[in-house]
Structure 1
Amino acid sequence: MDVPHADELFIGSRWVAPRSTERADVVSPFTAEVVTTLPRPVVADAEIAVTEAAAAFDGWHGLPFEERHAVVGRFCAALDKRVDEISRLWALEAGMPLRNGTELTAAASTFWNRALAQSLTAPWVEVRRTDLGDVEVRHEAIGPTVGIVAFNGPHMQFALAIVPALLAGNTMIVKLPPENRLLGYLFADAADAAGFPAGVLSILAGDADVSRYLVEHPAIDAVHFTGGTEVGTSVMHACADRVANVVLELGGKSAAIVAADADLSLTVPALVDAMAMYSGQICVAMTRILVAREIHDEVVARLVAGLRALRIGDPADPATQWGPLAAERFRERAEGYVERARRAGATVVHGGGRPAGFGGYFLEPTLLTGVTNDMEVARNEIFGPVFCVIAFDTIDEAVALANDSRYGLSGSVFTTSAETGLSVARRVRSGVFVINATFPCLAAPFGGMKQSGFGREGGPEGLFALTQMKAVTLPAA
């Protein structure tokens, strides 16, 4: 395995020696075996990253936009050259099946190149005429910013959050999770090839102590966090005292509503494909499947057949449809939810155990029936392969069930009635929604409501997520 600068860290746009001799194992979720070791970033490394980001901000923000755009453009071009390796390493160290990872990596490339193009015509500065005079409205960078990304799509978050923030003029410290240590080196290698000015960009795959230090640091003016709601609330608390800007893309417990008139020949394969994507380790996963009571048994039977047919195996094999979870702790968490759901009265109609013949962190796709919306398994984000089927009698009841959640990230409805589809979509309280499909359009603004967070990624709105507005009253003519 050829890891660029494998004994160094990328801090302040340069490869540097780590401040500690600590090493971290990179473990394959497929085999549960160590594939390599890399330097473990420590708080002392994060301290240097903050110092450099603060020192570089005025210079980076002060560059003409065209010059910033050129540097970020080189970064995106360097990432494009590495897309195949990104997908391969994602499968190796985090267990993302190659068939899904290749599609998502291609999508990330589309989005970072779209951000580059949109930024050229975006209204960074506009003059508004008011009754009280002309005003110049400016979108300006906030300052040194921390971007904490999740293991289930770090390059997608580079595309939707980090690249726009750099284009806006923020200096960035990107904190990846331990499950993305190898990918971090690929991203850093691309950043090195782009030639960012000193201090502008640091990329560290650290543990919780590094995240905590960065989020709490008084020199950090903004935090963009992607992850679970519980950690997201702690990020808000840490930033509150100094009134640092926060963007939160948090968890979900999204509901797919299957109306009585749904075309099951299209609906069930779409749901099975959605369940299979990264074994449910997707924030927009449809983990609550709300089914009209008159078709409940048929839908369950078809879902079981679809899940039974999934090919379980090595995530690096393009034919694999179901891979391992990213880490042992994620499997243990999911297993705990399944066991408690059984004790609460739910029935496991498929899965629930570890498939035979695999040494890694595998858990079978698990489908539960007899679930009520007040059960723990239907209330909390599990971030794993545990899916609940809940029956409803009317569309109004289905909408009420979908909304009876502290989360509000995504949702979907399957129906042959355009009127029903639009009515449901407009009534479900979620940041994104899909009709007769499961995965939202990330080219539009993406983000959540309620405890799924606030702020948006993607689309023109995403360009300004990590900016602040300044209004300059112009002198009268």
Structure 2
Amino acid sequence: MSAKVLSNIEIEIPHPNHLFIGGRWEVPQSSESVDVLNSANGEVLSSLPEPSVADADLAVARARAAFESGPWPRMSVDERIESVLLLRRAIEARLPDITRAWALEAGMPVSTGSAFGEAIMVLIDDAINIAKTVKLRERRTTALGEVEIRHEPVGVMLGILTYNGPLIEFAFTAIPALLVGNPVIVKLPPENRMIGHFLASAVEEAGLPDGLVSVMTAGTEVSKHLVAHKDISLVHFTGGTEIGADVAAVSAQRLARVTLELGGKSAAIVADDIPLDQAVPLLLGGMATYQGQQCVALTRILVSDERHDELVERLIKGLEAIEIGDPLNPEISYGPMPSARIRDRSEGFIKRAVEQGAVVATGGRRPAAFKGGFYLEPTLLTNVTEDMEVAQTEIFGPVFSVMRYRDIDDAVRITNNTPYGLLSAIFTNDDAVAWDVAGRVQVGAFAINGSSPCLTAPYGGVKASGYGRVGGAEGLLELTNVKQIVLPAGQ
């Protein structure tokens, strides 16, 4: 099926009338469908099926059967790696289609989406390499006897992923879960409906065992049903903190294991010694990538009184130089928001910030050049104080605040003065200052003269940014149960 829009845009979606449940394309158990809109103009791209609770139940039943009686949990790691390599190859072959679909339905510029595609392959390869080397079985001599320690599959994992990085999250959640023997149900958000079909077609091509993987793009009702399902043993949730707290509370009723990768309010401390020619390009990259829709986006820029005006001037110049346009244009790095709802949410934060005393230094408008679509200019706010909503709440959009600090100790205090603790950064050429601040900031990841975490090392948040880790051997082992087998004396 091809869906035409705007005269020349076509995209062929695999199995547009079916759902991918337990390794098979199935006719949906409901007739409900949802229009997929082009984020650049608001026009309909396609209409795809909406999964129902009954479809979700079928996915869980097949996954549970794959865990209880299927071959996958009982395979060797090497055998599972062989199948995952086939999946890797199938995903890589579809990256151009996935990147294009991401641009159309969620506003991800193809220039950025292509770079993310390369990162996806790195993450899959890293998970495979870790699975080859990590010890899932070992003998130990303890003070009370000989034991064998085994890391075994836990059960069915539900991965609830977000629209700003669905395949990156698939790579650091679902792939490790599969490698250690767990069946997986991947729940994508409504903004990734087309991507879901391309991902499912990759799983189909890989020929994984029956029931092992389901890919569902669904709304709130199905998500809540899956989180509460008695046969879901592991839940990985990426998303907002309030919903994450609900996920944890519901899962706790049956003591299901949960990993939460939640919101952030990342601060960038600009020290007085760093040349602004060095710092500003790095800051802009950490702010405006994918229209600020990253949980680690640098949304609070902390600067001393002495350098405040100069930094603001340079940031204004940098943000205003960003060319806004069609996300399918490879020359464009800043596109629309995925939907009117998401754009309107950012606009609400801007409006309330101004009512509380903030000043819009640049941006804050819908670009006049676009008749349709969900565009919003990158927005820089000044005169922002710590108590303002815009300084305390994750926005997940192109709204950035410049805040003043008195000295480095004050900057550390401001950085820690939010509920969140995902990522923060310092920009300085003074090693002593950098390492001192890194030790005092309460986050799961800290960057020195950078703006991103390392996803091939253990990554996650503290405080209201969640708990549990993905990446590295630690992330893989979190997806296992630990069993001790006591050996007979003398053996």
TM-score category, normalised to shorter length: over 0.9
Answering whether residue 350 of structure 2 is matched by residue 338 of structure 1, we say: yes
Q: Does 1:406 align with 2:419?
A: yes
**Offset of 1:368 from its aligned partner?**
0.5
Q: 2:444 matched to which residue of 1?
A: 431
Pair 1:299-2:311 in alignment: yes
Q: Is 2:39 the partner of 1:41?
A: no
SS at match of 1:407: coil
Q: CA deviation at 1:142?
A: 1.0
Comparing 464-473 with 9-18, greater Cα deviation is found at: 464-473
Pick from 378, 393, 413: which aligns with 1:365?
378
1:19 alignment counterpart: 29
CA deviation map 1:154-190 (0-9, x unaligned): 1001111100001111111110001001110111001
Distance in 2 (alpha carbons) for counterparts of 1:274 and 1:88: 23
Report how far residue 465 of structure 1 moved.
2.3
**Are the equivalent residues in 1 in contact too, given 2:77–2:131 (CA < 8 A)?**
no
Residue in structure 2 matched with residue 248 of structure 1 by the alignment = 260
SS at match of 1:134: strand
Paired AA for residue 51 in structure 1 = A
Deviation, structure 1 residue 67: 2.2
> Which residue number in structure 2 is paired with residue 376 of structure 1?
389
Within a 5 Å distance, the mapping from 1:423-462 to structure 2 comes to: 423-462=436-475
CA distance in 2, matches of 1:462, 1:78: 24
Report the Cα distance in structure 2 between the residues aligned to 1:228 and 1:380, rounded to whole angstroms: 10
* Displacement of 1:65: 2.5
**Aligned match of 1:111:** 123
Query: What corresponds to 1:190 in structure 2?
Result: 202
Q: Following TM superposition, by how much is the alpha carbon of 1:218 offset from its aligned partner in structure 2, in angstroms?
A: 0.8
Question: Paired residue for 2:191?
Answer: 179
2:145 pairs with 1:122: no
Q: Deviations over 1:109-149 (max 9, x none)?
A: 11111111221111111222211112222111110111100
Would the aligned equivalents of 1:112 and 1:158 in 2 still touch at CA under 8 Å?
no
- Structure 1 residue 63: Cα displacement: 2.3
Does residue 396 of the first structure (1) align with residue 406 of the second (2)?
no
Alignment partner of 1:443: what SS?
Answer: coil
Q: Which residue matches 1:52?
A: 62
Asked if 1 retains the 8 angstrom alpha-carbon contact of 2:458 and 2:469, the reply is yes
Distance 1:170 1:31 in 2: 41
Q: Secondary structure of the residue that 2:244 maps to in structure 1? A: helix
Q: Matched residues in 2 for 1:263 and 1:98: separation? A: 32
Separation of aligned partners in 2, 1:307 and 1:165? 40
Instruction: Give the Cα–Cα distance (whole angstroms) in 2 for the partners of residues 225 and 160 of structure 1.
Output: 12
Give, as a single letter, the amino acid of the residue that structure 2 aligns with 1:197: P
TM-score w.r.t. structure 2 length? 0.96
Contact 1:315/1:322 (8 A) holds in 2: yes
Tell me the SS of whatever aligns to 1:101: helix
Query: Which residue number corresponds to residue 416 of structure 1?
Result: 429
Q: 2:324 aligned to 301, 312, 315, which one?
A: 312
For 2:98 and 2:167, locate their aligned partners in 1 and report how far apart those are by CA, in whole Å.
Answer: 8
Unaligned runs of 5+ in 1: none
Q: Is the 8 A contact 1:341 1:375 kept in 2?
A: yes
Task: Pick from 243, 251, 258 the counterpart of residue 239 of structure 1.
Answer: 251
Q: Indicate the SS of the match to 2:12.
A: coil
3-state SS of the aligned residue for 1:313?
A: coil
Structure 1 counterpart of 2:42: 32
- Counterpart of 1:433 in 2: which secondary structure? strand
Letter in 2 for 1:117: N
CA distance in structure 2 between the partners assigned to 1:475 and 1:266 by the alignment: 64
Question: Does structure 1 residue 325 correspond to structure 2 residue 370?
Answer: no
Cα separation, 2, equivalents of 1:131 and 1:290: 52
Shift of 1:321: 2.1
SS of the aligned residue for 1:85 comes to helix
Deviations 1:330-356 (A, max 9, x none): 111111111111010111101111111
Once residues 117 and 26 of structure 2 are traced to their aligned partners in structure 1, the CA distance between those partners, rounded to angstroms, is: 28
C-alpha contact 1:165 1:466 (8 A) present in aligned 2: yes
Question: Which SS does the other structure have where 1:408 is aligned?
Answer: coil
Report the equivalent of 1:472. Answer: 485
**Structure 2 equivalent of residue 143 of structure 1:** 155
Shifted more, 44-53 versus 118-127: the winner is: 118-127
In structure 2, the gaps of 5 or more residues are 1-10
Is the aligned partner of 1:203 residue 2:215?
A: yes
* Partners of 1:442 and 1:266 in 2: CA distance: 24
- C-alpha displacement of 1:230: 0.8
Q: What is the RMSD of the two structures over their aligned residues, measured on CA atoms?
A: 1.0
Partner of 2:364 in structure 1?
352
Could you tell me how far apart the structure 1 residues matched to 2:139 and 2:360 are? Answer: 61
Provide runs of 4+ in structure 1 moved above 4 Å. Answer: none
1:3 aligned onto 2:5? no
- Output the amino acid matched with 2:397: G
Match of 1:212 in 2: 224
Give the superposition deviation at 1:41.
0.9
Q: How do 1:160-175 and structure 2 match up within 5 A?
A: 160-175=172-187
Letter in 2 for 1:120: K
Map Cα deviations across residues 21-46 of structure 1 (whole Å, 9 max, x no partner): 11111111111111111111111110
What is the alpha-carbon distance in structure 2 between the residues aligned to residue 328 and residue 88 of structure 1? 20
The equivalent position to 1:133 in structure 2, one of 120, 140, 145, is 145
Query: % of aligned pairs identical?
Result: 50
- Cα distance between partner residues in 1 of 2:489 and 2:87: 43
Quick one: distance in 1 between partners of 2:232 and 2:299? 35
Q: Which amino acid aligns with 2:147?
A: V
8 Å CA contact retained: 1:351, 1:364: yes
